[in-house]
Amino acid sequence: MKTGIIGDVHANLQALESVLKALGEDGVDEIVCVGDVVGYGADPGACIELVRARCRVVVAGNHDHAAVKKVPPDHFNAAARAAITWTAQRLNDDERWWLSSLPLVHVEEAYSLVHSSFESPGAFGYIFNPEDAGPSFEKQETLLGFFGHTHWPATLIDGEPITHSLQTVVPIVPPAKMLINVGSVGQPRDSNPQAGYVVLDHDEKRITFCRTEYDVKAAASRITEAGLPQTLAERLFMGY
């Protein structure tokens, strides 16, 4: 049994399609998503449709809830705010309903999902280091917790230093709880422009961080054509 975990799609259809294709080649049995389906990119509707069709579970990201006015826009920088306004104007009622209905946390036997932190999921704070992770571990009910939000693929093991991961296989060794940042499909920020995701192999008890090429130029052109801030197109080429 294998689970693909994706997140921070950010309305980047080209990256999402590449990742879904790669997950198919990886032979995953199911896909789940840690949120931020929309925001920054130019294809919110198409990404919502694909994520709804392909992901068994999706939790809410701050951009998802900002696009439906459940999170105030003042938490975002100018370019992000412009993209949120642009996105909000393009959502139909069904897409708005779906984004509004996403839960902040999902817990099941094998793992938990959250966008930002289990400590205070609705506050959308950031976990950058082991100190930030401590309070989240206290609220994490399962051995494995998957999250996103920083767009940095990383593994945090309760009580150990952080490990940033690139194409890395990480063994699952109970009983220490693990927080796994799955990286970003649609806006990587670790200086690698390739789309990121994670595969959890339940039988082999390991997590694999994966990257896949996608048509960055096409995604950037869509952003430019949409009239979204140009910086949002440029950063895709740098992976930042």
Token readout for 41 is: 């990119």
Q: Applying CB under 5 A, which part among 36-44, 77-85, 106-114, 130-138 lies near Zn ion?
A: 36-44
Rounded to 10 deg, the angle between the 216-226 and 13-26 helix axes is 150
- Residue 8 vs 158, nearer CB to Zn ion: 8
CB of 61 to Zn ion, least distance (A): 6
Nearer to Zn ion, 4 or 39 (CB): 39
- Go through 183-207 and write b for each residue having 16 or more CB atoms within 10 A of its CB, e for each that does not: bbbbbbbbebbbbbbbbbbeeeeeb
Residue nearest to Zn ion (CB): 36
Size of the site for Zn ion (CB under 5 A): 2
Tokens encoding 2: 């294998």
At closest approach, how far in Å is the CB of 47 from Zn ion?
13
Applying CB under 5 A, which of residues 4, 8, 136, 154 lies at the interface with Zn ion? Answer: 8
**Interface residue with Zn ion, options 12, 14, 16, 36 (CB under 5 A):** 36
Which window, 6-14, 43-51, 73-81, 116-124, contacts Zn ion (CB under 5 A)? 6-14
String of DSSP letters for 205-236: TEEEEEEE---HHHHHHHHHHHT--HHHHHHH
Count of CB atoms within 10 A of residue 30's CB? 15
Site residues (CB under 5 A) for Zn ion?
8, 36
